[in-house]
Each structure stands twice: as C-alpha cells, then as structure tokens.
Amino acid sequence: MRTVQLLFMVIFLVFYSLVSIGALKSLVNLSSSSNKNKVIWSVLISTTLILISFVLLFIWPITVRNTKDYTYHLIFNVILSVDFIFKIPLAISFIIGVFINQKQKSIIYLAGLILSIGVSTSVLYGFVFGTKDLIVNNVELEFPNLPGNFNGLKLMQISDTHLGSFLHSNKLMLKVQNETRKINPDIILFTGDLVNNFSNELVGWEGIFKDITQNKECFSILGNHDYGNYANWKNEEEKIENYNQIISANSTFGFKLLNNEHAKLKSKTDSIYIIGVENWGHPPFPQYANVEKALAGVPENAFKILLTHDPAHWDEVLKFTGDFGLTLSGHTHGMQWGIMRAGITFSPAYFARQKWGGLYKFKNSFLYVNTGLGTVGIPWRINMPAEITVFTLNRVKVDRE
C-alpha cells in the first residue's frame, strides 16, 4: 500500500513541476524585460520550497500516518492548493499559446492570469471564511406509518465535525450552539467522524457540546475516522486506548453512542426506534456495521430511523430492504466545494457517488446525506457551507377506499 501511495505522490510531483514550468513561461511572457528575472526567481524559489515541504510532510520523515497533529499538513495543503490552482490556468494558456500566432499570445496569457487570480482567490476565501459559514436546511417528511404521538417530531442532524480540522478555532461550533438553541429540536442525531483520527482533538470541546446536547435526546454513531485506522501506532494497545477515549467522549459530550444497537423512544402509547450501526463503506473504508445485531428486539413493523455514516451503505444494501423510513448519513462533505445556493445543488462529488448530499427517496424510504460541519484533507469550503439539517416528521393519512 505504501508503495502505491508513493507512486501516486511521485506522479503528482512530476505533474506539479510540469504545471509550474508552464505557468512560469506564461508569466515570463507577460512580464516586462526588467521584471523577467524577478518573476523567474520568485516562481523557482516558491516552487522549490513547496516541493521540499511536500516531501518532508508526506514522504519522509514525517508522513501523515506518523504524526498525531495534522496542523502543519492542513496549512500546507491550503498553500499547495492555492499555488497549484493559480498555476493551472497559466500553464493551459501557455500550451494554447504554442498553437496560435504571436499577436494573440499576449491576450491568451493575460486571460490565463485573470482566471488564475480569480480561482485562487476563491480558494483563499474558502479557507479564511468558507469554513465558518453555516447553513440550516429544513426538511419536512411525511410517513404513513409514523405513530400518531410522534406527529411533528423535530430531529436535528449534525455530522463530520473532524474536530482537529478547526485549527483551534471554535467560531463555527459556537454558531452551531446558537442555532441549536433557536431550533430547539426534540432529538439530536450525530452521524459520525467526531475527529480526524486522534483523541487529543477532543480537548477543549466539552463545554460547547454539552450546551448543544443538554436536555435533549441525543444519539451518535462512529464514522470511518473515529477508529484510528489512518495512523501508525506504536502498538495495538495505544490504538485501543485512543479508540476508547473517543467512545468515552461521545458520552461526555452528551450523546448515547449506538454501536450496532438501537434505542426505543416512547410517547404515551407509541414507540419509534433509532438504529445506529458502525461504519460501512466501500474498501478501503472499514465495514463494521451489523444491521441484524442492531435490529435485534425491534418489532418488524416499527417505525425506524437508521444512522449509518456512509451513504453507500444505504445505496448498496439497505434501501432494498425497505425496513427504514428514514436513513441519515454524512461522510461525503460534498467534497467541500460546489454549489448549494438558489435552488442549485451540485458538487463534483457527484462523479464519485450520486448520493453525495441532500434528500433521496426509494419507494417509501428516504435517505438524507448531511455535508458535515468540519473538513478533511484541505481545510476549506467553497460554496459548500457547513450544514445543520432539521427534519420535521409528519404522519400522513392513507386513503384506503
């Protein structure tokens, strides 16, 4: 596995270097004679520093799997992304310039520069401001089998906090705290990935989460990042201790963790069930979910809400059973960029999985994919704000005539 990763890293570095050369040539052609050397040296020095930093952080000696603090990696990812995205239009303009006449070259190079400034600025905005934006999506759903005493039930879903990705800023979670007070839900459901990998990310968050969950029925599940599978541990005991601390934090923060378990909620003579399973995903993501175990003791015709972190679980397996009126997932983050404004919902995540964000229906079952609060990989959100989802469940009468 490590050999394959190194191969992809080398391919990326070669591609990045070629893009940098193309961007440099484009910038040189745009520069005056007196500034050409300054441009050359500026690009060469910055590119060399980025290449060296990439090697140090991702190949040797640090690597992602050998560190327990991703701060430097996350900040570097932003720098690399801004630099790379800035250079791509310039490199493309240089390639186009090879095939056109001399009079048109300067126009193409200038267009490449303007586009480069625009896209790189949007990336910076996504890092500085986008990660602090928050949207509340309200969804009303109707079910013929919802018990009458649960008519109007208000659920609030949050997901994928990845606490280490906030880089010691609590601004977004304070917004979540304030919105929760306004929403005043009956139940709060958290659909996994509390952390990036490590229990040390939990430090300092207890107060905010306790305020969010106080006096509420709150349930949670684990996501793929909560198992500590993306790190090299000194021994198995260290990994287990990390895992146990994350398990404990769910309780400390005010959530009842459902690890292939269910919870029964009663309202007068009626009952509904919250089913929570461990992570299930396409390889290399772990598949720990045991739906049968979680359903043990649940009446067959009961109204059930399923929490499963990866929407692929519903799409590949669960929707065909028809056992769950509503399934809630996260995991995708909407790839942290796209469009979720003015009734338009799109993300490049669609090309990897069709069910990447929002509401989906199959027969009488619904799936909702929450695009999460935190970030993973690159700490940005571009037109893909952090999300709270509020569901109002209504009982619909069925005409049997």
Instruction: Examine the domain organization and report whether 171 and 118 are in the same domain.
Output: no
* Partners of 305 in beta bridges: 274, 326
SS3 261: strand
Q: Does one domain contain both 143 and 276?
A: yes
What CATH number corresponds to the domain at position 187? Answer: 3.60.21
- At a CB cut-off of 8 Å and minimum separation 6, what does 236 contact? none
Please indicate, yes or no, if residue 156 is contained in any of the structural domains: yes
Q: Are residues 56 and 104 in the same domain?
A: yes
pLDDT of 391 reads 98
Residue 23 is assigned to a structural domain of this protein = yes
**pLDDT tens digits, the chain, 401 residues: what are they?**
567 788 999 999 999 999 999 999 999 999 999 999 999 999 999 999 999 999 999 999 989 999 999 999 999 999 999 999 999 999 999 999 999 988 899 999 999 999 999 999 999 999 999 999 999 999 999 999 999 999 999 999 999 999 999 998 999 999 999 999 999 999 999 999 999 999 999 999 999 999 999 999 999 999 999 999 999 999 999 999 999 999 999 999 999 999 999 999 999 999 999 999 999 988 888 899 999 999 999 999 999 999 999 999 998 888 888 889 999 999 999 999 998 776 778 899 999 888 999 999 998 899 999 999 999 999 999 999 999 999 999 999 765 54
In this prediction the pTM is 0.95
Please indicate, yes or no, whether residues 253 and 267 belong to a single structural domain of this protein: yes
164 domain-assigned: yes
Residue 319 and residue 192 share a domain: yes
**Is residue 345 helix, strand or coil?**
strand
In the chain, the number of structural domains is 2
Q: Are residues 119 and 147 in the same domain?
A: no
Give the per-residue pLDDT at 319.
Answer: 83
Residue ending a domain, among 89, 109, 128, is 128
Question: Which residue range(s) make up the domain with 122?
Answer: 2-128
116 and 154 assigned to the same domain? no
The answer to whether residues 299 and 192 touch, using CB atoms and an 8 Å cutoff, is: no
**Encoding tokens for residue 244?**
């146990």
Question: Which of 81, 105, 128 is at the close of a domain?
Answer: 128
Position 400 in a domain: no
Instruction: Kindly give the pairing relationship between strand 386-395 and strand 153-158.
Output: antiparallel
Q: What is the pLDDT of residue 373?
A: 98
Q: Please report the pLDDT score of residue 245 as a whole number.
A: 98
pLDDT at 51: 97
Residue 401 within a domain = no
Q: Are residues 193 and 337 in the same domain?
A: yes
* 21 close to 88: Cβ distance less than 8 angstroms: no
The predicted pLDDT at position 322 comes to 80
Helices marked H in 235-318: 236-252, 291-295, 311-316
Q: What is the pLDDT of residue 133?
A: 97
Q: Are residues 280 and 233 in the same domain?
A: yes
- Within this chain, do residues 309 and 170 fall inside the same structural domain, yes or no? yes
Last residue of a domain, which of 128, 160, 188?
128
Pick the closest to residue 225 from 314, 133, 127, 159 (CA basis).
159
Both 124 and 149 in one domain: the answer is: no
Determine the pLDDT at residue 401: 44
Instruction: Confirm whether 143 is domain-assigned.
Output: yes
> Quick check: is 285 in a domain?
yes
Are 75 and 214 found together in one domain? no
Give 37's Cβ-side CA count (13 Å radius).
1
Reading the block at residue 383, the tokens are 């037109």
